[in-house]
Structure 1
Amino acid sequence: MMTTQVKMEDLVQKYNVAAPRYTSYPTVPFWDNTTFSSAAWTAQVYQTFQHSKDKGISLYIHLPFCESLCTYCGCNTRITKNHRVEEPYIASLLKEWEMYVALFNGERPVLAEIHLGGGTPTFFDPDNLKMLIEGILKLADVAPDSSFSFEAHPANTTVTHLETLFNLGFRRLSLGIQDFDPLVQFVINRQQTLEEVELVMLNARKIGFDSINFDLIYGLPKQTLFTVEDTIQKAMRLSPDRISFYSYAHVPWIKPGQRHYTEADLPSGAAKLALYNLGKKLILAHGYEDVGMDHFAKKEDELFIAFQQERLHRNFMGYADRFSPLLIGIGVSSISDAWGAFAQNVKTVEEYHKLIDTGELPVVKGHLLNEEDLIVRRYILDMMCKGKVQLQEGELLNRQIKEELSELVADGLVVITGDLIACTAVGRSFLRNICMAFDQRLLRSRTRNQLFSQAI
């Protein structure tokens, strides 16, 4: 027992390095914008649309506004209490959607997914959300098995929000909780009571929402084993269908709001891993299943079923129970994925409105994937979603990958059998590190500090 404990501590010390979360490959810092153009992007969108009509389109809508700053947050947000920003922003979103639909030459897209992210989508008045979604649906058809979901702040999500979105086809709700401890909530400026969360859940269940997710975070300032256990036990009593138990990403050089506390307030290394292991143990003990990285679901939930059937997918929104080759992101900072290309929108509301008003797609940068990118992308997706990779033809690339994995093999994180690479039980805690061995662009640059948060 002591040997295993010491070895895990050694692994944590060795592998707690800056590492991507791999919601895409290549990761955004390694996009090659020199070969990218708006014309190339729109051509790829049309091509992917034509080749994947049977799978439909995923639509991500970024709603950046929040009334207060959660200091842990790494998302693109605009802090304001002025709700007059809602209608002009919705008008720009609908114009951007119209520009994308116009690329399809009169064919109506079929929506397989809509996800409202932020920011705080429930910052918006329910009537304005209705205007937004009705404007989207006016130009599209909806797949019979579609999945509409939205993120919500428990402290400002009303019954009217829930009823309005349910009547528009939304059935999945993700509640941003992070932690129930009052001190932790105070430090990260994210405050909602257990009673508020419970009320939103009861109302959502009564209305008919069939999948509710909790977002929880480990590694936050002032967290201890006691506070994490208390948070998990309270979450378990409310019995959500899914739980996302994320590692806090400390990147104050990118998000200055994270300088409201210091590294001394943060659990790190072995202490942070102990928080995760405790939380995971408690979640699994209550009948949830481990899905991918940092995600858990009940056995009857679609996310676990997709994992079992090896059709789990990962994109900029995290894990998904379906795969749409064309993901269109609209709104400030949204990222779109046409499988062979990525594109990201401008990051300020002012610049977004300005480009939309001139009739331009508000894309600021992107990346066209080459042949190697496409192969590596599939490898990393398979490792993140299935925990295993079957190498394809490509002797040089395969040899390089195996060489990079050799130390992880020696440390018991992966097992290589011929061209099959499989993550071990211990390796599941180091999934980001394993994927780095496949990441050719990262390996060639050898640059990761100041780009990514720590792996653990």
Structure 2
Amino acid sequence: MKVSRELIARYDTPGPRYTSYPTAPSWSNDFGEADYRRHLIRAGSSAERLSMYVHVPFCERLCLYCGCSVVITRQRDRMHDYVSRVLQEARLAHDALGSARPVVQHHWGGGTPTFLSPTELERLFTGLVALFPLDENAEVSIEIDPAVTTIEQLDVLRTCGFNRISMGVQDFDAKVQETVHRIQSVEATRLLVDHARALGFLSVNLDLIYGLPHQTPESFGHSVDQVLKLRPERIACYGYAHVPWLKKHQRALPEDALPRGHDKIELYLTAYRKFREAGYEAIGMDHFALPQDAMMRALADGTLHRNFMGYAVHPAEDMLSFGASSISEINAAFAQNHKGLKDWSEAIDTGRLPIDRGLTRSADDTARRRIILDLMCRFRLDYDAHGGAAAFRKRYADALVQLEPLANDGVVELDDNGIRVTELGQLFVRNAAMPFDAYLAKQRAQGGPMFSRTV
């Protein structure tokens, strides 16, 4: 695939990643605990399955590229109280929901979930599953950092019932690792991958990040080769989101060493070619999987879903999330917990759901969300699934006009049946979704940076 510098420059613009719609800048602090509780109660009558996310924000060190909500500490004695509060938060949500809906996707992220001791890992998992039982086919996954994760922790996770692990690699190049303050060897990663397979984990996912300081196609290609030797079932290859106005520590990265525009795309294309040559199929805008993986089956049968955890194989509409800063999506509403440990803890200690802000989706929000999910997950949209061609063209006339230049550039194809994102357009799928975002123009008019760049 060849991509011109002119085309990259045209589409290299700030834009959402659409892990939600409406996106987080549209949410309001007027949405609080009472609103979230009301949505939980209403959702209790549903028989649909649930997704669950648990946020463990603690890390021993700060990676300079990080865009997550983290707490840097070495005080592991704080973990007992944190686990206790997460379980209490889960009980509050369970009591409001009033039903035991099965969980089909159960995921822990961070931070570093394996900052917890083996005992605390088991206590947290056992407590959550007692409140929210797992579906027999549930995907139970966790993010781990090979630099701090032990064999004993992997043993406990597998015994609990985790069946998929995701390891952050980002880049194996020594200069890149030193610059971003994350040191991790190929050997340490291989040791955990091999042990996970010996324990019977069904799937191993490795994460890479392109766009980090000092990366070149040659150096990044070498890191990709090292990852491919480990033969993970899934690979995520994320573009680095440089948002120093939100994450102040990113200012420590050397701006002149950051690949941008065409140079950044070349990093991705280098990885893309190697993944495809190794037998991996592209999924969505940043995932790759072997043909036998469950994510490929979800793509083929149209059940691939996208939420705050990224691409998911189970299309559960409702997601309960626990822990500081975590975001729930329930009964057509988003609810985000307090980001600060102090506010989050105080709410739970006084018996309150720790909600900081949120949004209740309107009917128009829900319709546009379905459009964006189709484009982001399936790379196509069928008019018949959205009320028919005539109604769609009338309702979204402005968006279709905005898509015409993308069609002229070969990013999308427009015909009588719908919209298709081309192979070239998969690089710019965020741009293809943006015309359907009813909030974006207002957000841009507010001035100031808000989103990472789409390239």
TM-score tier by shorter-chain length is over 0.9
Aligned twin of 1:327: 319
Report SS of the residue matched to 1:251.
Answer: coil
* Structure 1 counterpart of 2:10, from 8, 14, 20: 14
Distance 2:406 2:313 in 1: 29
Pick aligned residue for 1:31 from 24, 27, 33: 27
- Equivalent residue for 1:124? 116
Deviations 1:199-250 (A, max 9, x none): 0011111111110000100000111111111000000111000000000000
**Contact 1:63–1:331 (CA under 8 A) maintained in structure 2:** yes
Name 1:400's counterpart in structure 2. Answer: 398
Aligned residues: 448
Mapped partners of 1:350, 1:445: distance in 2: 30
Q: Do 1:101 and 1:109's aligned partners in 2 also have CA atoms closer than 8 Å? A: no
The answer (yes or no) to whether the contact 1:45–1:326 under 8 Å persists in 2 is no
Matched, 1:46 2:41: yes
1: CA distance, partners of 2:140 / 2:289: 18
Q: CA deviation at 1:142?
A: 1.9
2:420 — aligned with what?
A: 422
Q: 2:177 maps to which residue? A: 185
User: How far did 1:446 drift?
Assistant: 3.2
The alpha-carbon deviation at position 56 of structure 1 amounts to 1.8
2:237 is the alignment partner of 1:245: yes
Unaligned runs of 5+ in 1: none
Question: Whole-Å Cα distance in 1 between the matches of residues 428 and 326 of structure 2?
Answer: 28
Give the 5 Å matches for 1:87-236: 87-105=80-98, 107-236=99-228
CA distance in 2: counterparts of 1:438 and 1:252, whole angstroms: 27
Question: Deviation string for 1:30-57 (max 9, x for gaps)?
Answer: 22444x3422322222323422x2x421
Match of 2:453 in 1: 454
Residue identity opposite 1:43 in structure 2: R
Give the deviation of 1:443 after TM superposition.
2.9
User: Which amino acid in 2 is paired with 1:213?
Assistant: N
C-alpha distance in 1 between matches for 2:443 and 2:208 = 33
Partner of 2:57: 64
Q: Which moved more, 1:199-208 or 1:413-422?
A: 413-422
Give distance in 1, aligned partners of 2:413 and 2:42: 38
Q: Give CA-to-partner distance per residue, 1:159-201, whole Å, 9 cap, x none.
A: 1111111111101000011000011011111111000000001
Residue 81 of structure 2 aligns to a residue whose secondary structure is helix
CA RMSD of aligned residues (A): 1.4
Q: Distance in 1 between matches of 2:351 and 2:163?
A: 33
Q: 2:334 is matched by which residue type in structure 1?
A: F
Bigger mean CA offset, 226-235 vs 38-47 = 38-47
Partner of 1:288: 280
Q: State the AA in 1 paired with 2:190.
A: E
CA distance in 2, matches of 1:339, 1:163: 36
Task: Report the secondary structure of 2:207's partner residue.
Answer: strand
Cα displacement (A) at 1:433: 0.6
Distance 2:200 2:87 in 1: 28
Amino acid in structure 1 at the alignment position of 2:451 = F
Q: 1:261 to 1:140 in 2, by over 3 A?
A: closer
Deviations 1:124-159 (A, max 9, x none): 101111011111122232211111100000111111
Specify the alignment match of 1:378 in structure 2: 370
Distance in 1 between residues matched to 2:54 and 2:454, nearest whole Å: 28
What are the Cα deviations for residues 365-422 of structure 1, in whole angstroms up to 9, with x where unaligned?
Answer: 0001001100000000000000011243445432122112111112111111125011
CA contact (8 A) 2:32 2:356 kept: no
- Structure 1 residue ranges, 4+ long, deviating more than 6 angstroms after superposition: none
Q: Relative to structure 1, is the Cα distance of residues 351 and 85 closer, same or farther in structure 2, using a 3 angstrom cutoff?
A: same
Measured in 1, the distance between the counterparts of 2:270 and 2:82 equals: 42
1:58 Cα deviation after fit? 1.1
Q: Which residue of 1 aligns with 2:441?
A: 443
Matched position secondary structure for 1:446:
helix
- Identical aligned residues as a percent: 38
Q: Following the alignment from structure 1 to structure 2, what is the Cα–Cα distance between the partners of residues 43 and 350?
A: 25
Structure 1 residue corresponding to 2:269, chosen from 262, 270, 277: 277
Could you tell me which runs of 5 or more consecutive residues in structure 2 were left unpaired when the two chains were aligned.
none
Q: In structure 2, what is the Cα distance between the partners aligned to 1:315 and 1:156?
A: 27
CA contact (8 A) 1:49 1:326 kept: no
Is the contact between residue 176 and residue 214 of structure 1 (CA under 8 Å) also seen in structure 2?
yes
Structure 1 length-normalised TM: 0.95
Task: For 1:165, give the aligned amino acid.
Answer: L
- Asked if 2 retains the 8 angstrom alpha-carbon contact of 1:244 and 1:295, the reply is yes
Residue 166 of structure 1 contacts residue 209 of structure 1 at CA under 8 Å; is this kept in 2? yes
Rounded to whole Å, the distance in 2 between the matches of 1:142 and 1:424 is: 37
Structure 2 CA distance for aligned equivalents of residues 303 and 330 of structure 1: 25
How many angstroms apart in 1 are the aligned matches of 2:115 and 2:213? Answer: 26
CA distance in 2, matches of 1:49, 1:21: 30
